[in-house]
Structure 1
Amino acid sequence: MSIPRALLATSGLLLALTLTACTSAPAETISEEPSGCNGVEVVVNFGVLDGTGSTTCVDISGDSAKAIDVVHEAGFETEGTATYGDAIVCRVNGLPSPTEPVVVEGQAEFTESCADMPPAFAYWALWQRSSAGGQWEYAQSGLGDLIIKKGESLGLVFTTGDSTPTPVSE
């Protein structure tokens, strides 16, 4: 499914503005020692969801690869939304469940349908880091379009509440 660039840019800007408006404290920044990964480091944190996070080094052929392929090679299955496809990550390894409610303090319970944009208080944040010792930055493209280079890191964090934590190696 092809998403017009203007729509994707507007969606990303809207999400970024929503997150900025909802964030009461700056995003936590984790500076880590170099991991020794010669490919792409993939860090997945499930937060309040009942999933097992991990940090995995994925070898890629060539200098770069599509982020979605790297995440899948790391052993994680992703699902996009009906409206935005793989530009928005709705589920990782089946979570949040399509049948069990997500509980976030201060919000009404909800069940994620993956029909449209997830709520600003409970969604998968996509992060990118240009080097092992660098700072995490919010990805500027969706998982399906993002190109990641060898030596970079990619993070998926299920974010809840009013702050957006950066990935933490597990």
Structure 2
Amino acid sequence: MIASRFAVVCALLFGAAFVGAAPASAAGTDGACPEGGGVTVVVDFGDLGPQPLVRCAAGTPANGIAALQEAGIEVAGSQKYGLAVACRINGQPGPAVESCAGMPSATAYWSYWHATAGGSWTSSQEGAQTAKPASGGFEGWAFARPKSANDLPTPPRVPPVRQTSSPAPAPAASSDGGSFPWGLVIGALVIVLVGGAGIVVARRRRAQ
């Protein structure tokens, strides 16, 4: 009975060790999407402060709002129109600039753009909740502060271009057999051996 209980405890400890080592998942990835996959989302915060964001949404999102969300970028709509109007992106602009009660101000709002890879930004002719992103294309958002409602917004300052980079060097061969968690295995074996020794000692004492 003692041995069977000990075996169960050891099995649970061993399984928990591997569960704890599992990597966490997150929506979207940093940087432009690789050629042939995903939709790249560019967010230019303008004079709001944060640096521009460039992130990749895998696959082909259903619309412009979904592209933001699937790239791991927070978007909030207005209280009156919901996500039909993108009022805040990653918390910007703050309440001091825009209350998000209804339509944004004509002199402080998010403009929405499209582009092909290596092409030019084009202002969207429809809202982000109905616009369908092109597979392999770029979606752009730029915070606009025109001096008057008649002034046209400017596109994101980040060009819709995939950044080329040198291939990463191959990882050096590891003498410990790669990334297999030998430390966890050895630790579990030590627990089993120590526990087994304790059982043997206990049985000998009973026999005496």
TM-score by length of structure 1 reads 0.64
Q: Tell me which stretches of 4 or more aligned residues in structure 1 moved more than 3 Å.
A: 34-37
Shift in Å at residue 50 of structure 1? 2.5
Percent identity over paired residues: 39
Among candidates 55, 79, 99, match of residue 113 of structure 1:
99
Q: Please say if residues 35 and 132 of structure 1, whose CA atoms lie closer than 8 Å, have aligned partners that are also in contact.
A: no
Aligned residues: 123
Deviations 1:76-107 (A, max 9, x none): 11111122221211101111112xx33xxxxx
Which one has the bigger helix percentage?
2
Map Cα deviations across residues 115-140 of structure 1 (whole Å, 9 max, x no partner).
111111110001111x1122211112
TM-score by structure 2 length? 0.53
Structure 1 residue 150, shift from structure 2 partner: 0.7
Alignment partners' CA distance in 2, 1:143 and 1:35: 20
State the distance in 1 between where 2:75 and 2:124 align: 16
Which residue, out of 43, 60, 72, partners 1:75? 72
Mapped partners of 1:44, 1:158: distance in 2:
8
1:89 aligns with 2:86: yes
| SS across alignment from 2:126 | coil
Q: CA RMSD in A?
A: 2.2
User: Structure 1: where are the runs of 5+ without partners?
Assistant: 1-33, 103-111
Q: Is the Cα–Cα contact under 8 Å of residues 40 and 57 in structure 1 kept in the other structure?
A: yes
Give the direction of change, closer, same or farther, for the CA distance of 1:116–1:73 in structure 2 (3 Å limit).
Answer: same
Q: Which amino acid aligns with 1:159?
A: A
| Structure 2 residues without counterparts, runs of 5 or longer | 1-31, 160-208
Q: Please say if residues 63 and 132 of structure 2, whose CA atoms lie closer than 8 Å, have aligned partners that are also in contact.
A: yes
